Every structure is written in structure tokens, then in C-alpha cells.
């Protein structure tokens, strides 16, 4: 029976992945290793906390001894989601991004070698490819051209993974996905921020002219892709995942206003993000061909369900926005 170390399992994608795998794979033990930073939330997994194949370990991927202790629980496979993930925060302060995303990956790779891990998956991002013009798609052969401190730290981590695969023969696969949306996404990212603000009749800050384009994919489609890469990916290969769903931010904002029945006056144009990437779009034919994967959730269906999830989970959003969830950690763990 595989014992899978999932790092960052208390975040948005990691928690969706843990729930998905527990529901669909009766043979895998999951150890969720998460530092519980501001983005990690135990409330994202309250429904599985007592599951017999699930264990939570609080730990930091940059801490060698904590990582080794977790690996020593019989880990056979690793899926590395843990990261500092928000571009705007990386522009404010790149330090935590270099530490967690680069050093954390190095520590994990060393431990994977030491403990003879069979399969290692690095969850990366399409942002490592930089920005596209009006046409074209990112393929796995697009040269790396990261533009933000976040994407630079993710690209550096990808290069380390490739170096460990080449030098030490570690079985390692890299996935690069476009923009995810769905339940449990921290309300600093566009869709959960805008939906939660609009539900409360608050304004939504559109950066610059709002004509930047992102390729949206439902988080469960991404999780299924990561799972396929783990099970079937060839060592040393990169697999792109995307939703074939390009939307300009402003058009997406108009769609959200329409679905929520809110007026355009709630749009607030604000200063642009520094170095803002103009367009991302993914060619995911390699993953379709080699992994038998394809995005399944139609965008409007997924978006409507996501809006309803945020409406039904207003308390989850409120606890984050008023930082109540941090007090919960203080009580549970005596400080962060």
C-alpha cells in the first residue's frame, strides 16, 4: 500500500486533492505535511480529519529534521503542493517565496533520495513560462521566462527537480497548471475575492485595464491531472494542465456581476500589478495523449457551483477575513 506524503494539504489545491484521493483510492495512506501558514487552514479538511487513511503532521518543508521525521513514517511517494502561492505577496516581499519554494523543494528532494521515494511529483505552474502575446499557447517546450518573484521561485524549484532527476535518478515528474478556481480557495485570489466581496455588496479591485487573460480550470480537474501524473507520468517529464478557457479579467468580472445580480458600479479600477503578465494559455495535448487526462468541468457550471459554495460557506470566508482561524491555531498548537 503506498504511503503518500502530500505537502501543503491544508491549502486550496492540496485540500481538494486529499479529499479527492481519499474518496477515490482505497489503497493509499495520506500524510498531509503542512506548516499552517496564513494560507493553510485546518477547516479545509474537517470532514476527513478522522479518516483511517489520513494523518496530519504540522511541519515546515524548509526544516530538514521535520521533513525527515515525516518521511520516516514509511513514505513511498511525494506530491509537493506546499508553496507561497500569491503573486502580489511576492512583489511585497520575495523572502518567504525563495525560502519555501526553493529551499523547501531542495530539502524535500534530499529527503526523497534518502528515504528511497519511488515517485515524486512537483506541482508547478504555467507562470514559469512568462507571458504570451495575443496568440499562441504554452507547451512543455516553451522556454522558462518567469516574470514575478513567485514564478521565478517556482521555476528555480522546477530546475532543481530536473537536476535531481538527472543526477540521482530520482523518479520525478513536474506538472504546470493554469489558474485554478473552486471551493476552499483563499479569498486573496481573483475569483474568491471578487465573489466574497460581491456577496457582501463590496467593490472589486480590477488591476489596470482588466484585459489580462487567464486560462481557468476547475480545481478538481487539476487534482485529477496531478493524480494521473503521479500514477502514469514518465520520470523527467513535464505535463501541462489547462482548462482551454481563456477569459480577460474584466469579462470574468462582468460574468460574476451577472451571475450574482450585482451592478457594474461595484467595479473599482485600481493601479496595475507591477510586471503584470498579460496572457496565459495552456496547450495540454501532451497530458491528454500520455496520461489519458482531460478537463471535465465546464466553466460556467464550475463557476456557478463555486459561487454557491462561497454563499453557503460565508462563515469560512468570514473567519479568514477577520482572522478568527488564526486564533484557532493558537489554541490548537500554541502559536504559529
The alpha carbon of 333 is separated from its chain's Cα centroid by a whole number of angstroms, namely 25
Nearer to ligand NAD, 228 or 262 (CB): 228
Active site residue 126: yes
Residue 227 within binding range of ligand NAD, rule CB under 6 A? no
Q: Where are the alpha helices (DSSP H) in 76-175?
A: 87-92, 95-97, 104-114, 149-168
Which stretch in 18-26, 59-67, 204-212, 310-318 sits in contact with ligand DAU by CB under 6 A? 204-212
Residue 85 within binding range of ligand DAU, rule CB under 6 A? yes
Residue 187 within binding range of ligand NAD, rule CB under 6 A? no
Q: Which of 205, 254, 305, 329 binds ligand DAU (CB under 6 A)?
A: 205
Residue 306 within binding range of ligand DAU, rule CB under 6 A? no
Residue 286 within binding range of ligand DAU, rule CB under 6 A? no
Angle formed at CA 218 by CA 212 and CA 223, multiple of 5 degrees: 125
Task: Residue 38: name the closest of 79, 92, 75, 78 by CA.
Answer: 92
Residue 121 within binding range of ligand NAD, rule CB under 6 A? no
In whole angstroms, the minimum distance from the beta carbon of 241 to ligand DAU comes to: 10
User: Mapping DSSP to helix (H, G, I), strand (E, B) and coil, where does residue 72 land?
Assistant: coil
Residue 174, strand partner residues? 122, 238
In whole angstroms, the minimum distance from the beta carbon of 191 to ligand DAU comes to: 7
Q: Which of 4, 5, 6, 8 binds ligand NAD (CB under 6 A)?
A: 8
Active site residue 324: no
| CA-to-CA separations, 108 to 66, 111, 156, in angstroms, rounded | 10, 5, 14
Taking the C-alpha atoms of residue 46 and residue 15, their distance in angstroms, rounded to an integer, is 10
Taking the C-alpha atoms of residue 289 and residue 40, their distance in angstroms, rounded to an integer, is 34
Which stretch in 18-26, 206-214, 306-314, 327-335 sits in contact with ligand DAU by CB under 6 A? 206-214
Nearer to ligand DAU, 39 or 78 (CB): 39
Active site residue 127: yes
The secondary structure element, H or E, covering residue 174 is strand 172-177
Nearer to ligand NAD, 214 or 262 (CB): 214
CB within 8 Å of 164: residues ≥ 6 apart: 109, 112, 113, 170, 172
Residue number closest to ligand NAD, CB atom:
11
Exposed, middle or buried, 208 (CB in 10 Å: 0-12/13-18/19+)?
A: middle
Footprint on this chain of ligand NAD (rule: CB under 6 A): 7-8, 10-14, 34-37, 39-40, 60-62, 81-85, 100, 104, 123, 125, 154, 177, 179-180, 186
Amino acid at each position: 500500500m503506498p504511503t503518500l506524503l502530500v505537502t501543503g494539504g491544508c491549502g486550496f489545491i492540496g485540500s481538494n486533492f486529499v479529499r479527492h484521493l481519499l474518496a477515490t483510492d482505497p489503497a493509499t495512506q495520506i500524510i498531509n505535511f503542512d506548516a499552517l501558514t496564513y494560507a493553510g487552514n485546518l477547516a479545509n479538511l474537517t470532514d476527513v480529519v478522522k479518516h483511517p487513511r489520513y494523518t496530519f503532521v504540522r511541519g515546515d518543508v524548509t526544516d530538514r529534521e521535520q521533513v525527515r521525521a515525516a518521511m520516516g513514517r514509511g513514505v513511498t511517494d511525494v506530491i509537493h503542493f506546499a508553496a507561497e502561492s500569491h503573486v502580489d505577496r511576492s512583489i511585497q516581499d520575495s523572502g518567504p517565496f525563495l525560502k519555501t519554494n526553493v529551499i523547501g523543494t531542495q530539502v524535500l528532494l534530499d529527503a526523497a533520495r534518502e528515504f528511497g521515494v519511488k515517485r515524486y511529483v512537483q506541482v508547478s505552474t504555467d507562470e514559469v513560462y512568462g507571458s504570451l502575446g495575443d496568440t499562441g499557447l504554452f507547451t512543455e517546450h516553451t522556454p522558462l521566462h518567469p516574470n514575478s518573484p513567485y514564478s521565478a521561485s517556482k521555476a528555480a524549484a522546477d530546475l532543481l527537480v530536473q537536476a535531481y532527476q538527472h543526477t540521482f535518478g530520482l523518479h520525478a515528474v513536474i506538472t504546470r497548471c493554469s489558474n485554478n478556481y473552486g471551493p476552499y480557495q483563499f479569498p486573496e485570489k481573483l475569483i474568491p475575492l471578487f465573489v466574497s466581496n460581491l456577496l457582501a455588496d463590496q467593490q472589486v479591485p480590477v488591476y489596470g485595464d482588466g484585459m489580462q487573460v487567464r486560462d481557468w480550470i476547475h480545481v478538481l480537474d487539476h487534482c485529477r491531472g496531478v493524480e494521473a501524473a503521479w500514477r502514469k507520468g514518465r520520470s523527467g517529464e513535464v505535463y501541462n494542465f489547462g482548462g482551454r478557457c481563456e477569459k480577460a479579467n474584466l469579462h470574468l468580472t462582468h460574468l460574476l456581476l451577472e451571475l450574482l445580480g450585482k451592478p457594474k458600479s461595484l467595479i473599482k479600477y485600481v493601479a496595475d500589478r507591477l510586471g503584470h503578465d498579460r496572457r496565459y494559455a495552456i496547450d495540454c495535448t501532451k497530458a491528454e495523449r500520455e496520461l489519458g487526462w482531460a478537463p471535465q468541468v465546464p466553466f460556467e457550471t464550475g463557476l456557478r457551483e463555486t459561487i454557491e459554495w462561497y454563499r453557503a460557506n460565508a462563515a469560512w470566508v468570514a473567519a479568514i477575513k477577520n482572522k478568527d482561524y488564526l486564533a484557532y491555531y493558537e489554541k490548537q498548537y500554541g502559536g504559529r
